[in-house]
């Protein structure tokens, strides 16, 4: 069957309805299938004439409640899970499906003419390491001459265009829209972070990943509006390996076999000093001229030595993951070496060059678990002092402040307590809560509410051999105060401080 794309008078591309429904099970309960659709909409506030409005049941609102509003605004087609009241003489087509989110993924893929088929798609899931790993892969692949798009926690990257990301894994419609823009821009590869929420909500349906990657699994995202328990979290992560052709998983993670249970893909493993297909061996720590890094040998499916410019064992895992994927693209060992050494991920143990006498880094660690992991890693480099500067976000669980205060008090030689995103809370109230946590330890601290002044203090009081980490803000380039986001990038602050000296 051949479907046509029409052009309406207003210049909006019109797509045959039957083309959009071609890959889903549905029932037409009202109206005709012989019509065209101007766009796919799932927010009733954005309805345009002759669009398809998909009624998505959400945690906060149910799209079925806005079906009548969508019809009044000009929607021509409704996709529903249950009955909605629509006058029979309204000229509306009503399509009923079992799962609206699932259907939307396939409808969106068809609307954008299946762009994933034009590129190689790499999906990365796991509790930690997704962001760094995707950037490392992008760095290696582009170094080898492939044009690579990226979808992730920080941003969407399409050539020279950078789009702020609201979710780690966007809604299926947006994924397909970005895929189409990437394909049209000449991208031949896409790397994307795949969250458990994205998998649970079918955002990544409608196409098949060429590669699915599993980094690690720890209890996270469990609670109201997320996953009911750890088993549900694990199950959702595992869905990726029923949606990809080749799965590449961390053999060292205790949950890897459970995650890939029931997989439909080919499997490869990676790990450190294990029986994995790709292994990192003879690992050593590098510290020179204010810089931290790692060196290791790759063994198994590839055999060569690698040096990376980021610290810690988890950095080795991230690099090894990227190597395991890029092997399938025929990337030369020399290209991998050069790309890994040059790669830097914004806000993820990101080194900032200030002095050869001490090390300064920026990291996104904004909870106790992440901060503990970060400080443990930096402690392995035996610094003269480990200095931790951080604050906590307002309008979030107060327990996070106590916990982070206690972690820093126990693990850092000096804590500099400052402001993060106070939102609608008073910064001093947040600082006082952090101090409550530190008071359970013998840790030394100073409090400087203004973040720029706090960073200036850290730099001006640095001693030879110190490692200083600015935690919490990471890639963020703003500070949110009373509902307003003010520009604030720690890299800019550091530059201003150095110029002021």
The ranges assigned to domains in the chain are 5-111, 115-342, 351-500
Q: Which residues of the chain have pLDDT under 70?
A: 1-12, 219-228
pLDDT for 222 equals: 52
pLDDT for 6 equals: 37
Fold match between domain 5-111 and domain 351-500:
no
SS3 content of the chain, % helix, strand, coil (to 5): 35, 25, 40
Q: How far apart are CA 191 and CA 251, in angstroms?
A: 21
Query: What are the φ/ψ torsions at residue 293 (nearest 5 degrees)?
Result: -165, -170
pLDDT for 48 equals: 97
Q: How far apart are CA 441 and CA 414, in angstroms?
A: 12
pLDDT for 172 equals: 98
pLDDT for 138 equals: 96
Q: Positive or negative CA dihedral for 203, 138, 154, 405? A: positive
Query: What are the φ/ψ torsions at residue 44 (nearest 5 degrees)?
Result: -60, -20
pLDDT for 177 equals: 98
Are 321 and 248 a contacting pair, CB within 8 Å? yes
pLDDT for 208 equals: 98
Are 241 and 259 a contacting pair, CB within 8 Å? yes
Dig out the tokens for 121 from the structure: 């798609």
Q: How far apart are CA 35 and CA 288, in angstroms?
A: 67
pLDDT for 182 equals: 98
Model pTM above 0.75: yes
pLDDT for 299 equals: 97
pLDDT for 4 equals: 37
Q: Which CATH architecture has domain 115-342?
A: 3-Layer(aba) Sandwich (3.40)
pLDDT for 8 equals: 39
Q: Which CATH architecture has domain 351-500?
A: Alpha-Beta Complex (3.90)
Are 416 and 435 a contacting pair, CB within 8 Å? no
pLDDT for 223 equals: 56
Under CATH, domain 5-111 is a member of which superfamily?
Answer: MurE/MurF, N-terminal domain (3.40.1390.10)
DSSP for 317-347 reads HHHHHHHHHHGGGT--HHHHHHHHHH---TT
Burial 283-292 (b: 16+ CB within 10 A, else e): eeeebeebeb
């Amino acid at each position: 069957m051949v479907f046509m794309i029409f052009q309406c008078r207003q210049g909006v591309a019109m797509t045959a309805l039957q083309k959009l429904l071609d890959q889903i099970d549905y029932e037409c309960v009202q109206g005709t299938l012989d019509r065209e659709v101007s766009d796919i909409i799932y927010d009733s506030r954005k309805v345009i004439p002759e669009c398809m409005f998909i009624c998505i049941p959400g945690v906060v609102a149910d799209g079925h409640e806005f079906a009548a509003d969508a019809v009044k605004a000009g929607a021509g087609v409704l996709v529903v899970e249950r009955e909605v009241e629509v006058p029979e003489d309204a000229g509306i087509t009503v399509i009923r499906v079992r799962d609206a989110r699932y259907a939307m993924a396939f409808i969106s893929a068809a609307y954008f003419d299946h762009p994933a088929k034009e590129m190689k798609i790499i999906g990365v899931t796991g509790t930690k390491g997704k962001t760094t790993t995707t950037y490392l892969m992008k760095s290696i692949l582009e170094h080898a001459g492939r044009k690579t798009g990226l979808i992730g926690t920080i941003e969407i990257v399409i050539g020279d265009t950078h789009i702020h990301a609201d979710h780690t894994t966007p809604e299926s419609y947006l994924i397909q829209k970005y895929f189409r823009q990437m394909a049209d821009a000449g991208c031949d590869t896409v790397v994307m972070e795949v969250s458990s929420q994205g998998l649970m909500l079918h955002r990544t349906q409608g196409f098949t990943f060429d590669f699915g990657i599993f980094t690690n699994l720890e209890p996270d995202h469990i609670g109201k509006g997320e996953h009911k328990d750890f088993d549900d979290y694990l199950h959702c992560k595992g869905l990726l390996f029923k949606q990809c052709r080749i799965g590449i998983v961390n053999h060292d993670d205790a949950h890897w076999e459970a995650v890939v249970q029931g997989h439909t893909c080919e499997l490869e493993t990676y790990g450190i000093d294990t029986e994995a297909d790709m292994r990192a061996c003879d690992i050593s720590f590098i510290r020179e001229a204010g810089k931290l890094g790692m060196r290791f040998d790759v063994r198994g499916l590839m055999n060569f030595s690698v040096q990376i410019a980021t610290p810690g064992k988890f950095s080795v895992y991230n690099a090894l993951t990227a190597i395991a994927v890029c092997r399938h693209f025929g990337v030369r060992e020399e290209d991998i070496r050069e790309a890994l050494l040059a790669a830097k991920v914004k806000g993820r143990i990101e080194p900032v060059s200030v002095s050869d006498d001490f090390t300064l880094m920026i990291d996104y660690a904004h909870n106790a678990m992440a901060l503990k992991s970060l400080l443990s890693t930096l402690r392995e480099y035996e610094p003269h002092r480990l200095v931790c500067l951080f604050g906590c976000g307002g309008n979030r669980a107060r327990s996070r402040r106590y916990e982070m205060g206690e972690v820093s008090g126990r693990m850092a030689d000096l804590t500099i307590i400052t402001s993060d995103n106070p939102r609608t809370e008073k910064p001093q109230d947040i600082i006082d809560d952090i101090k409550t946590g530190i008071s359970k330890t013998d840790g030394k601290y100073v409090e400087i509410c203004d973040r720029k002044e706090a960073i200036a203090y850290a730099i001006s009081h640095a001693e030879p051999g110190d490692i200083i980490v600015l935690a919490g803000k990471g890639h963020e380039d703003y500070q949110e105060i009373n509902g307003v986001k003010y520009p604030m990038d720690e890299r800019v602050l550091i530059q201003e401080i150095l110029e002021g000296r």
